[in-house]
Structure 1
Amino acid sequence: MNATTPGVHLNPHERVAQGKAARARVPRSSHAVFEPPADRPDPVGTIEHQSASRLPELVPIRYGRMLESPFRFYRGAASIMATDLGAAPDTGLFAQLCGDAHLLNFRLLASPERHLVFDINDFDETLPGPWEWDVKRLAASLVIAGRANDFSEKQRKGVVRGTVRAYREAMRGFAGMRNLDLWYLQGDTDRLRELMPEDMGKRARERMSNALTTARTRDSLQAFQKLTKVIDGERRIAPDPPLIVPLTDLLPDVEREVLEQQIRHLIAQYGRSLPSDRRHLLEQFRLVDIARKVVGVGSVGTRCWVVLLVGADDGDPLLLQAKEADTSVLAPYAGAAEYENQGERVVSGQRLMQATSDIFLGWERATGIDGLQRDFYVRQLRDWKGIARPELMAPEQMEFFGSLCGTTLARAHARSGDRIAIAAYLGRNDSFDRALAEFAELYADQNERDFQSLADAARTGRVTAESA
Structure 2
Amino acid sequence: MRTDPSLPTPAERARRGKAVRERLPRSSHAEFQPAPDRPDPVGILDRQSAGRVPDLVPLRYGRMLESPFAFYRGAAALMAADLGSRPCTGIETQLCGDAHLLNFGLYASPERQLVFDVNDFDETLPGPWEWDVKRLAASMAIAGRANGFAAEQRRDVVRATVRSYRQAMRGFAGMRNLDVWYARSGTDDLHVLFADRLGKRGRRRLTRTLETARSRDHLQSFERLTEVVDGTRRIAADPPLIVPLGDLMTGTDRAELEGHLRLLVERYGQSLPADRRHLLRQFRMVDAARKVVGVGSVGTRCWIVLLLGRDADDPLFLQAKEAGPSVLAPYTDPTAYANEGQRVVHGQQLMQAASDIFLGWERVTGIDGRQRDFYVRQLHDWKGSAHTERMPPGRMRLYGELCGATLARAHARSGDRIAIAAYLGGKDVFDRALAEFAETYADHNERDFRALADAVHRGRVTARRD
Shorter-chain TM range is: over 0.9
Query: Aligned letter for 1:91?
Result: T
> 1:72-221 residue pairs with structure 2 within 5 A?
72-196=70-194, 198-221=196-219
Q: 1:347 aligns with which of 345, 348, 362?
A: 345
Q: 2:295 aligns with which of 286, 294, 297?
A: 297
Contact 2:96 2:124 in 1 (8 A): yes
Provide the rounded CA distance (Å) in 1 between the counterparts of 2:289 and 2:106: 26
Provide the rounded CA distance (Å) in 1 between the counterparts of 2:166 and 2:312: 48
Q: Structure 2, unaligned stretches of length 5 or more?
A: none
> 1:36-435 residue pairs with structure 2 within 5 A?
36-196=34-194, 198-435=196-433
Provide the rounded CA distance (Å) in 1 between the counterparts of 2:443 and 2:204: 34
Provide the rounded CA distance (Å) in 1 between the counterparts of 2:367 and 2:346: 28
- Higher mean alpha-carbon deviation, 256-265 vs 375-384, is at 256-265
Q: State the secondary structure of the residue aligned to 2:243.
A: strand
Provide the rounded CA distance (Å) in 2 between the counterparts of 1:348 and 1:98: 11
Provide the rounded CA distance (Å) in 1 between the counterparts of 2:84 and 2:259: 41
Matched, 1:449 2:443: no
Query: Aligned letter for 1:346?
Result: V
Shift of 1:203: 2.5
Provide the rounded CA distance (Å) in 2 between the counterparts of 1:99 and 1:253: 41
Superposed CA deviations along residues 324-368 of structure 1, whole A, max 9, x for unmatched, are 000000000012211000000000000000000000000000001
Q: State the secondary structure of the residue aligned to 1:196.
A: helix
Superposed CA deviations along residues 276-335 of structure 1, whole A, max 9, x for unmatched, are 000000000000001000110000000001000000112110000000000000000012
Shift of 1:199: 4.6
Provide the rounded CA distance (Å) in 2 between the counterparts of 1:172 and 1:199: 23
Shift of 1:373: 0.3
Provide the rounded CA distance (Å) in 2 between the counterparts of 1:441 and 1:197: 30
Q: State the secondary structure of the residue aligned to 2:185.
A: coil
Superposed CA deviations along residues 366-408 of structure 1, whole A, max 9, x for unmatched, are 0011101000000000100111011111111001000100000
Provide the rounded CA distance (Å) in 2 between the counterparts of 1:428 and 1:80: 32
Q: State the secondary structure of the residue aligned to 1:47.
A: helix
In 2 relative to 1, CA 30–197 (structure 1 residues): closer, same or farther, beyond 3 Å?
farther
Superposed CA deviations along residues 406-438 of structure 1, whole A, max 9, x for unmatched, are 000000000000000000000000000000000
Shift of 1:174: 0.3
Provide the rounded CA distance (Å) in 1 between the counterparts of 2:124 and 2:21: 25
Q: State the secondary structure of the residue aligned to 1:236.
A: strand
Contact 2:101 2:400 in 1 (8 A): yes
Shift of 1:80: 0.3
Shift of 1:7: 9.8
Q: State the secondary structure of the residue aligned to 2:142.
A: helix
Provide the rounded CA distance (Å) in 2 between the counterparts of 1:358 and 1:229: 26
Query: Aligned letter for 1:20?
Result: K
Corresponding pairs, count: 463
- Higher mean alpha-carbon deviation, 339-348 vs 384-393, is at 384-393
Provide the rounded CA distance (Å) in 2 between the counterparts of 1:438 and 1:386: 31
RMSD: 1.1
In 2 relative to 1, CA 250–191 (structure 1 residues): closer, same or farther, beyond 3 Å?
same
Q: State the secondary structure of the residue aligned to 1:319.
A: strand
Q: 2:9 aligns with which of 8, 11, 16?
A: 11
Provide the rounded CA distance (Å) in 1 between the counterparts of 2:332 and 2:186: 32
Provide the rounded CA distance (Å) in 1 between the counterparts of 2:20 and 2:195: 34
Q: State the secondary structure of the residue aligned to 1:58.
A: helix
Shift of 1:254: 1.4
Shift of 1:200: 3.3
Query: Aligned letter for 1:217?
Result: S
Provide the rounded CA distance (Å) in 2 between the counterparts of 1:321 and 1:357: 15
TM-score (norm 1): 0.98
Superposed CA deviations along residues 215-254 of structure 1, whole A, max 9, x for unmatched, are 0101111111111111110001000111111111101311
Q: State the secondary structure of the residue aligned to 2:362.
A: strand
Contact 2:235 2:289 in 1 (8 A): yes
Provide the rounded CA distance (Å) in 1 between the counterparts of 2:196 and 2:418: 32
Provide the rounded CA distance (Å) in 2 between the counterparts of 1:358 and 1:191: 21
Shift of 1:205: 2.2
Provide the rounded CA distance (Å) in 2 between the counterparts of 1:18 and 1:132: 16
Superposed CA deviations along residues 428-462 of structure 1, whole A, max 9, x for unmatched, are 00000000000000000000000000000111111
Query: Aligned letter for 2:380?
Result: R
Query: Aligned letter for 2:202?
Result: A
- Higher mean alpha-carbon deviation, 119-128 vs 176-185, is at 176-185
Shift of 1:197: 6.2
In 2 relative to 1, CA 113–141 (structure 1 residues): closer, same or farther, beyond 3 Å?
same
Provide the rounded CA distance (Å) in 1 between the counterparts of 2:335 and 2:104: 23
Query: Aligned letter for 1:160?
Result: V
Provide the rounded CA distance (Å) in 2 between the counterparts of 1:165 and 1:7: 34
* Alignment correspondent of 1:3: none
Query: Aligned letter for 1:251?
Result: M
Provide the rounded CA distance (Å) in 1 between the counterparts of 2:333 and 2:326: 10
Provide the rounded CA distance (Å) in 1 between the counterparts of 2:6 and 2:120: 30
Provide the rounded CA distance (Å) in 2 between the counterparts of 1:199 and 1:402: 14
Provide the rounded CA distance (Å) in 2 between the counterparts of 1:381 and 1:197: 31
Shift of 1:206: 1.9
Contact 2:162 2:434 in 1 (8 A): yes
